Structure 1
Amino acid sequence: MIRAIDVHTHVFNLKYLPVAAILDRSGLFNLPGDLARALAKAALALTKDDPTLDDVSSAGPSPGRASEAAAEAQVDAGVKEIEFGLADFGSYLDSKEEELPDWVREDEDVRSALESPGAELSRSGVGEGTLRRLVAAAEAFLGNARQRLKWVFVVATQSERAIVRRMITTYGGDVETFVHHMMNMASFYREGETVYPPHPRQVNRMRKLGEAYPGRLITFTAWDPFGDHPDQLEAVKDAVTNRGARGVKIYPPSGYRPIGNGPDNRHPHVSSPAPEEIDRRNLALFRWCVDEGVPVFTHCTDEGFEAYVDAGELNASPEYWRRLLASEGMAELKLCLGHAGGDAWFGTDAEFNCSFAADVVRLCTDSRFPNVCCEFGILDHVQDQAQFNRVRDRLGAIVAEQPGFGSRILYGSDWHMLFMRSGHEEFFRNYKRLFADPVLARHSENFFRGNAVRYLERQ
């Protein structure tokens, strides 16, 4: 049996994220501002802390540490702001404060999270009835969003260890090693404070978490080209050199490209460096990654946690990576294109041919760039048989025509974001079934393990 490597997971909780900003502006939620802030406050109050993961004596670069106290003060501000936030949404709330939407009452995990919130919630002043009204309001605005709200209250409010345990319980019989990616998003939102600042506290917590699961967790630290420089570059170097991180995560939907930033993608909501300065900072990072053999992982689809409207479409195209790789000294960069370009893998030929996904195939099979690969995280349409057949035939045709593509594809799930999709428990088994196809079976071992081993190696 192949002991797979999942190259795309997340094990952080809400204390690592600018929660109010994500609930407010992200395309996944897009709640009204007051409701987003109220729900964020309640969710953060519920989020478990694991003090054994902290190492307060650790030294190192720490951009953003001053924001920690402000974030914690916001969480502890009490129930008044929440009640104020609810005032504008009375028409969406049940007349009975205690009443929850039917799906919440029927879902044991969510009901347990909301009915037994524990001391954290009580200390914050958020009453259980108020929390239930918040969930009811959010559900009314979001419509069919049960899995997204479940992600907030059942997964993302848990401690990091509990998140890892759930991941291993769900997939650990098939997956031996999980590569988890951090997300440094604070600089890209007006309300971007996080309870845990990225460097060094988040990195140190993830280092200790990895030590608790030897051989099972690998960390990729996160990059922020908007933050104080050169502190951000030094923080990434420190995370990789001294604090156990293996690689670097890039997230273009936050509002930047790897190269080619300009007036057309200038961040509309926050103060940002000049486009040419963002390019310069990125190039400095990527030169170091090439020199040290450090792998880079990037989000490569037009969806996700977008810092502004269409930020994914504007910034995440594989063509910007082609331009970077073609620049002097960059051809050897070890790069994995997350999500393999997105849902167009399941589209018609016309949709696929003009998509990020087709660009990913072209980039992965370009002989000038020997270290470029891709992974298929959260592309869960394989659970539908018609979609399964379509991607089987398309992927089979590509590897038959270009066998080298079989050495450039990796297994990834994007868990715990995958938890937002119903049927997520079957994700690995569906891809195992896909690669049992006679045409694809010859690439199965490389897809689930071999290609990841080569990608993760420090050269």
Structure 2
Amino acid sequence: MRTREGSMSTVVDVHCHVFNAADLPVKGFIHRLHLRNAALGGLLSGLIDTLIQGAAPSFEADLGRLNTLLGGGGGGGGGLEGLGPAPEESFEHEVDVAVAELRGTQPELLTRIGTALAEEDGAAGGLEGIGDATRTARRAVRWVKLFGRSRLDLVAELVRVSGDRLDLAVPLLVDLDSGLADRSRTTQQQQVELFEKLSRATMLGVLPGAGKARLHPFIGFDPLRELLARRTHDVETPLDLVKRAVLRYGFVGVKVYPPMGWRPSGNAADGRHTAQDAAELDRIVGDLAAWCEEQDVPITAHANNSNHADPGFDGYGGPDDWLPVLAAHPRLRLNLGHFGGAQQTEPADGWPWRMAQAMAAHHGLFADVGNHRIHDPAIRAGYAETLRSMRAGAATRSVAERVMYGSDWYMLALYPDDDLFLERYLTLFAGFGDEARDAFAGRNALRFLGFDDPRNRNAQRLSQRYERYAPANVPAWLAR
């Protein structure tokens, strides 16, 4: 893919994940991930118990691999045994073995998973017996087993399914413990330490399988945990850790998740919170936004009406919730992740249209297309028309400069042909012209991150990080 000037355009995945099951309360997360399909959510959650059972590589295990690589033992992936990524064929063999074992011990589970997943695909009528159900269920088995892989191997897989085209990947950490009333095995501090080294290994070019891709992560932040920390007067609060992650550990943004049970604005007293707590939640979001605005730190928020920790949180984090925050902090860069979701037809008052209209007034408002179901030809064609209409409309044409590529991998690995997601979206945007495709593929994301402007504090901090750790490897996409 080349620009008009002939130089290779930049591809940025602004919304991806390479955490594993140790980094989140995985059983509750998966169960709620498919809250609108309770059968599938329950089945996938049970599959985690059957296949993973706490077997994901620990913080200590991956830290040891990274320390060896950063200490010179890995030699760019050709050194000590076990430092390179697990071969893809080896992983696929593991998946086949797991499917075979389930077919022998729990054939009814495979059938139920295959049927539920086919219903999710909109193709349940196409299943023709146990063989078809098993082939469909294999996707679920493979997806679940990704949660059990090393974070280093997940980076290599992300790069592989993207066709080795990624220049920059932005893995988003999440803090979901409060919303899911559960606890991750790996603490937020441990994740910060681990992902700093994972990022640095890509800067130095010593992370096996990463190719040319650089990783620069966002830290997760939960206002509910911040609320508890303020109530108990903790010495360091989650917001303090966010600041330390950005200023000392090289993180380049913050990820938040309103469907866990809080709103960006307008929190109200309910069965969980007093009026005082609700007002404090509004202040917490304002404190985060004020600091991020001052320091040029972008925020990505889950912004599809999905994945609620509780059905009562339906609608939390929609575009209207964010408008008062953007009005109070006009220089804030905010990415509404998932852009409200992709549908075959989108009502005029749906989240995507309201986001597109808000972009005209708020120049720091962006959106990404992560986890869209464009493997479905009907959804892909209908969504292309929605985007075309937005780009042509006077009130919504700002989407041309604000919509970014983001995969939400490996969440989308449950869908068919997840390795075609990038190619399908590049082809879709190429229909609007090469400039549109290149803006979507990377240029808009670099502007959201601030990496196209040498005066931007986020770009300056990253430049200083390269000067300290990898002065010979400063990427061309980073303005200096």
Shorter-chain TM range is: 0.7 to 0.9
The TM-score normalised by the length of structure 1 is: 0.75
Aligned to 1:356: 351
Q: How do 1:45-444 and structure 2 match up within 5 A? A: 45-49=54-58, 51=60, 53-54=62-63, 108-113=93-98, 133=105, 137=109, 140=112, 143-145=115-117, 146=137, 147-153=139-145, 155-190=146-181, 192-198=182-188, 200-214=189-203, 216-227=214-225, 228-229=229-230, 231-263=237-269, 274-304=277-307, 306-309=308-311, 311=313, 313-327=314-328, 330-344=329-343, 346-347=344-345, 351-366=346-361, 369-381=362-374, 383-402=375-394, 403-437=397-431, 439-444=432-437
Aligned to 2:23: 16
- Residue 10 of structure 1: how far off its partner (Å): 0.2
Q: 2:47 touches 2:144 (CA, 8 Å); kept in 1? A: no
Partner Cα distance (2:223, 2:110) in 1: 33
Q: 1:220 touches 1:248 (CA, 8 Å); kept in 2? A: yes
Partner Cα distance (2:17, 2:265) in 1: 26
Question: Which consecutive unaligned segments of at least 5 residues does structure 2 have?
Answer: 3-8, 65-91, 118-136, 204-212, 231-235, 451-455, 458-480
- Residue 7 of structure 1: how far off its partner (Å): 0.3
* Compared CA separation, residues 267 and 41, structure 1 to 2 (3 A): farther
- Residue 136 of structure 1: how far off its partner (Å): 5.3
Counterpart amino acid of 1:212? A
- Residue 25 of structure 1: how far off its partner (Å): 4.2
Q: 1:267 touches 1:308 (CA, 8 Å); kept in 2? A: no
Partner Cα distance (1:50, 1:226) in 2: 25
- Residue 26 of structure 1: how far off its partner (Å): 4.1
Counterpart amino acid of 1:201? Q
Moved over 6 A (4+): 31-35
SS at match of 2:14: strand
* Compared CA separation, residues 27 and 394, structure 1 to 2 (3 A): closer
* CA RMSD of superposed structures (Å): 3.0
Question: Which consecutive unaligned segments of at least 5 residues does structure 1 have?
Answer: 56-106, 116-127
- Residue 456 of structure 1: how far off its partner (Å): 0.9
Corresponding residue pairs, total:
378
SS at match of 1:343: coil
Partner Cα distance (2:31, 2:94) in 1: 25
Counterpart amino acid of 2:389? A
Listed one character per residue, the Cα deviations across residues 407-441 of structure 1 (whole Å, up to 9, x for unaligned) are 1111111101010111211111111111121x344
SS at match of 2:259: helix
- Residue 378 of structure 1: how far off its partner (Å): 1.3
- Residue 193 of structure 1: how far off its partner (Å): 1.3
Partner Cα distance (2:197, 2:248) in 1: 13
Q: 2:258 touches 2:301 (CA, 8 Å); kept in 1? A: yes
* Compared CA separation, residues 298 and 23, structure 1 to 2 (3 A): closer
Counterpart amino acid of 2:350? S
The TM-score normalised by the length of structure 2 is: 0.71
- Residue 41 of structure 1: how far off its partner (Å): 7.3
